[in-house]
Amino acid sequence: MKRAIAGAVLAGGQSRRFGRPKAFALHEGAPFFTWSVAALDPIADELYIVSHPSLVDEFRRQTDIPVLLDVERCRGCGPLAGLYTVMEQSRADWVFVLPCDMPYMRREVTERLASYIDPMFDAIVPLHGVRPEPLVALYHRRLRSVIAELLDAGERRMISLLDRARVRYVDAQQLAADETVWRNVNTEGEYR
């Protein structure tokens, strides 16, 4: 049975280390965020961009994908708030999150990861050795109340959500032999 998936490009950060909005930096002539969109598009029934307030207008100039701000009660509380915001907006069974600063991510990887969806689990998360990749992962909407509890308690770490979920970890090597796809760009130096 097909499960509805909402794709969520997380672009709510302030890009302090990068020095300018990373979402709009170019990779092979296209803005970073469009690479995340392209990786999610084949498997998502609906797409959203979760944005920092200062970037909303620029996103709306560049795309017709719905642009969301974190719900007011958790605005600025990081990726966990972005995930919660999409769960509040969408009725999809699963939310596939992907950061806007991973221009090397490919659709084959997202398709493979989505193939591991199992109703026995709350989250499907790549694992690099012992290090999880919680920002390239799928989360079931039943986690919405858990996320709300974490945010209400002032907890912002994605790992705290994983600690409270039934997680299916997938070896990152099974998803992509090329480690480049996992690289995110945090600084201008990494970008060059």
Distance CA 56, CA 75 (A): 14
Q: Name the DSSP letter for residue 78.
A: -
Contact between 25 and 58 (Cβ < 8 Å): no
The verdict on whether residue 57 carries a ligand-binding annotation is: no
| Amino acid present at 48 | Y
The response to whether 13 counts as a known ligand-binding position is: no
Q: How many CA atoms lie within 13 A of 40 on its CB side?
A: 31
25 annotated among ligand-binding-site residues = no
State whether residue 63 is helix, strand or coil. coil
Q: How many C-beta atoms lie closer than 10 Å to residue 172's C-beta? A: 22
2 assigned to a ligand binding site: no
Q: Is 80 annotated as a binding residue?
A: no
Annotated binding site for GTP: 10-12, 22, 70, 101
Annotated binding site for Mg(2+): 101
Annotated binding site: 10-12, 22, 70, 101
